[in-house]
Amino acid sequence: MGKFTYDDVVRIVETADESLRPGSVGWVVGVFEERPVGSYFSQFPPGVVYTVEYEDGEAKEVHEDFLEAGRLP
């Protein structure tokens, strides 16, 4: 079971790769608890992967290790 669910506000942790935009706030718009073998998601370590939509509308897949509960500014 993941830490977050659809529509939760999350923040990218400061230690995340620059491509994930550390410190940014976004919303969970996708939750991938189970992943097809050999798929795009094999690039991530075991655990839940989320699609996070940032405030500017861009979206990225982010492993749960790089997310924390966020709040709107």
Report how far Cα 30 is from the mean position of its chain's Cα atoms: 8
Identify the pLDDT of residue 34: 87
- Using one digit for the tens of pLDDT, what is the confidence trace for 20-60? 999 999 999 999 998 777 778 889 999 999 999 999 999 99
Identify the pLDDT of residue 39: 78
This prediction's pTM: 0.91
Residue 10 has pLDDT above 90, yes or no: yes
What is the pairing mode between strands 49-54 and 25-32? Answer: antiparallel
Mean pLDDT, to the nearest integer, of 13-21? 96
Residue 68 is which amino acid? E
